[in-house]
Structure 1
Amino acid sequence: MYTCDVKRMEDKIKTFSTFGDAGHGGITRYSLSPEAIMARNEFIKRMTAIHAEIVTDDMANMYATLPGSDPSAKRIVMASHCDSVKNGGNYDGILGVMGAMEVLETIAAEDIPHTHPVTAMIWTNEEGSLYPPAMMSSGVVCNDFLPTEIAKKFKQEDMLASKSVLDRTRTFGEALESSGFKGDKKNRLNPDDYKCMFELHIEQGPILEDAGNDVGVVTCVLGMFNYRIRFYGQSDHAGTTPMHKRQDALHAAAQALCYLHEEIDKLDRPELVYTTGEILCHPCVHTVIPDFVDFSIDVRHEDPAVRQKVLAIVKGLADREWAKCRCEVELAWARDTVYFDKELVSYVKEAAEQAGVKHQYINSGAGHDAQFVSYMLPTTMIFVVSKDGHSHCEPEYSSPEQCTNGATVMLNAVLKADAS
């Protein structure tokens, strides 16, 4: 049983939090931005110090590897991302990179024997904040193994053409070429050279904290669907059209949204989550009755039977009239629940037990690169408790001790995988 070093972890947290410091306790660190390049250079500096071999692939994913006693053995990789959302926190994504670095540093410092080469990896553009979509590079690298409906959305040529949401002109491909980190396609993560993958991440929710636990043994990434719900009415003057004559698309949408909450809540599934996060209204003028409203509905649950019950409610909206407006329901995208490798999950649980770290089984409601990798390699995740459940915001926080506990669990799970 080996233990990672809290002082080293604290130093990494402090250092990486300066790359993209937004001045309010968090960071803005878009993929391949100058701030992200600083984080990558720090990764190189620290991994070079322990004599890890560092390479990049054609999507600028980075790999730092310590050799094992068997040079022909497949590598064990620990991976996450160093990019953030706008005004994000200091832990989402980068904790997995810092944890992977800490595992390699502990192996090097304590000369821990291991058979397989062990790799710390940075995925490029997981957030997709500047160049959509999210999980871009893992979608490209794992493309041949993904379900068809997902794979077609991550064709490399389309990803390279993705335009910056800030200026709508610069492409991801241009940022990649100028980054200095574009490498060789042969260096990609692949099942011929790699045995399995672990990803350490903050929970991004309140479940662990509410239960008094420090580490989550992640079993799956929840299945989900996202639909667009549209209402078609008639624009007229706001001051001259009698109320009983109106076809107000926003009024219709408001009625339907309240109906959705009422009907979905009747299913009485506390673990079910659903969100309307985007609303479009036309013409969006204060003196004009809206003639068109479009809103999203995002639904997540492990059980496909539960998702189907919600879907029936969502689709049923189109069969009703809402404030004299027509309703249209269209699928945006969906995914099945992705289950992680049972053997790796058991290694994480055993490692947590042996380390005396309070833990529990948990699922992930958020998407991660690990879910795409799981189609290609045995994969699992480890969660670290998030204070007050905050994430994708500047108050995001996990203590150095909690982060180190997560790295310790990952280290010992990796050693179990190495011995298997």
Structure 2
Amino acid sequence: MYQCSLERMTDKITTFSQFGDAGHGGITRYTLSPEDVLARNEFIKRMEAIGAIIEIDDVANVYATLAGSDANAKRIVMGSHSDSVKNGGNYDGILGVLSAMEVLEAVAEQNIPHKHPLTAMIWTNEEGSLYPPAMMVSGVVCYDYLPQDVKGKFKLEDMLQSKSVLDKQTTFGQALDASGFKGEVAKRLSPDNYQCMFEIHIEQGPILEDAGKDIGVVDCVLGMFNYRLRFYGQTVHAGTFPMPKRRDALYAASQAICYLHDEIDKLGYADLVYTTGEIECHPNVHTCVPDEVDFCIDVRHESAEVLAKVLAVVKSCADKTWVGCDCQVDKMWNRDTVYWDESLVGFVKSAAEETGVSHQMVHSGAGHDAQFVAYMMPTTMIFVQSKDGLSHCELEYSSPEQCTAGATVLLNAVLKADAQ
């Protein structure tokens, strides 16, 4: 079995953490920002140094490819994204890029024979933290293969008009034109020239650490739904209107949140997760009783049957009157569970076993670019343990040893795919 370099991986982690460094441990590296351009240029410099050919597609995805012995063989691609959330960490997304780079560097240094061309890739705008939505560009690239209820969200012409959440004016299309990374549509990832895809990512949860395992062999991305519950009351003066006559939409919404927690917990699914992470209140004035309040509920589980039971509870809120307020339940987003290719999952598991890296099977609760690619070609993921399960924050951490172990598993899994 082949090994990746701890020294090289440590150097890459240290170097790339400078691009967007906010001065207190993490990064803010919005897609196509000056900081992101620095990271992309460093990727290109290092990949060209080992003889990789660089290509860029029309939505700024960057590909670095080492030729294989068979000029007609399709490529095997590895990669993830280089952008971050605001005040994010040094591992989410970029670890998949660094690991792909490390695989190519190990192949070049050790002159490892391989038939297929091997490609390291940077996906554009996975986070959607500056230009929504998340996984924007993988949605665009995989558009023709996505389920009907998903693909409408990712029309290229609509994505180019997505406006910056900061200035509310600059569009993704304008940022793309200004970035210097707008290439050719013919360079896009597609089943015509790519055999399969691997993506390494930090786990973003505590399962591996709690189990004492370094690597997760991922079998799927969990199905999920996001619904919005809207409550309608009446605004009145906070100091003059009698309590029994009020229709307080915020009070109604708070009762509904408690109801949802109680009723969903009664279903008894220990591996079910759900969150109310966003609330909007109108008029949001301290002297006014709220007349309109809405909140979202995000629910995730592998089983479509379990999700359907939870959804029935959510929808039941619309059949009730909440302290005089009406409730409307609207679907915002959903996805079915996306299962990874069984052969590729097997290659990852075998590579972990043969290299002696501690591992276990895990699900992904978060979405990733790979889940859209899975509709287009065989795809799988590898997780690296996250300290304390923290992610999307500056405390995010995976040790260089664990990151190198992940890259080693990736290298050997890719070679297994190449041999097949």
Instruction: Give the TM-score taking structure 1 as reference length.
Output: 1.00
| Structure 1 residue 186: Cα displacement | 0.5
Residues 18-62 of structure 1, C-alpha deviations (whole Å, 9 max, x = no match): 000011100000000000000001001100110100010000100
Amino acid at match of 1:382: I
**Within-5 A mapping of 1:16-415:** 16-415=16-415
Question: CA offsets, 1:338-382, max 9 Å, x none?
Answer: 000000000000000001011011010000000000000100000
Matched residue type, 1:338: V
Aligned with 2:113: secondary structure?
Answer: coil
Partner Cα distance (1:210, 1:25) in 2 = 24
Give the whole-Å Cα distance in 1 for the aligned partners of 2:206 and 2:246: 44
Deviation at 1:267, TM superposition (A): 1.2
Distance 2:25 2:168 in 1: 29
Task: State the SS of the aligned residue for 2:76.
Answer: strand
Amino acid at match of 1:105: E
Shift of 1:176: 0.6
Q: Matches of 1:181 and 1:288 in 2, distance apart? A: 49
Measure, in 2, the Cα distance between the counterparts of 1:291 and 1:162.
30
Uncovered stretches (5+) of structure 1, i.e. residues with no partner = none
Kindly state the Cα deviation for residue 241 of structure 1 after the two structures are TM-superposed.
1.0
- Structure 1 stretches of 4+ moved >3 Å: none
CA RMSD of aligned residues (A): 0.5
Equivalenced residue count is: 420
Q: Which amino acid aligns with 2:325?
A: C
1:321 positional shift: 1.2
Looking at structure 2, the residues matched to 329 and 218 of structure 1 have their Cα atoms a distance apart, in angstroms, of: 33
Deviations 1:195-237 (A, max 9, x none): 0000000000000000100000000000000000011001111
Q: Alpha-carbon deviations, 1:108-159, whole Å to 9, x = none?
A: 0000000000000000000011111111110000000001111111000001
SS of residue paired to 1:77: strand
What secondary structure, in the 3-state scheme, does the structure 1 residue paired with 2:119 have? strand
Q: What does the per-residue CA deviation read over 1:66-114, in whole Å, with 9 as the maximum and x for residues that have no partner? A: 0000011000000100000000000000000000000000000000000
3-state SS, counterpart of residue 200 of structure 2:
strand
| 1:333 Cα deviation from its structure 2 partner | 1.1
* Aligned partner letter, 2:24: H
Q: Which residue of 1 aligns with 2:419?
A: 419
Q: CA deviation at 1:160?
A: 0.6
SS, match of residue 100 in structure 2: helix
SS of the residue 2:217 aligns to: strand
In 2, Cα distance between equivalents of 1:87 and 1:276: 22
AA at the equivalent of 2:262? E
What SS is found at the alignment partner of 2:288? coil
Which SS does the other structure have where 1:162 is aligned? Answer: coil
Q: Give the drift of 1:415.
A: 0.2
Q: Which amino acid in the other structure matches residue 202 of structure 2?
A: I
Aligned residue for 1:99, secondary structure, equals helix
Amino acid at match of 1:254: S
Q: Secondary structure at the match of 1:230?
A: strand
Residue 157 of structure 1 aligns to a residue in which SS?
Answer: helix
Give the secondary-structure state (helix, strand or coil) at the position aligned to 2:99. helix
Letter in 1 for 2:219: T
Alignment partners' CA distance in 2, 1:267 and 1:8: 48
State the one-letter code of the partner of 2:5.
Answer: D
Distance 2:280 2:165 in 1: 18
Report the CA distance between 1:386 and its aligned residue.
0.1
Deviation at 1:240, TM superposition (A): 1.0
* 2:189 partner amino acid: L
Q: Secondary structure at the match of 1:216?
A: strand
Corresponding residue number in structure 2 for 1:10? 10
Corresponding letter in the other structure for 1:275: T
| Partners of 1:171 and 1:244 in 2: CA distance | 48
Give the letter for the 2:179 counterpart. Answer: S
Q: 2:47 and 2:270 mapped to 1: Cα distance?
A: 44
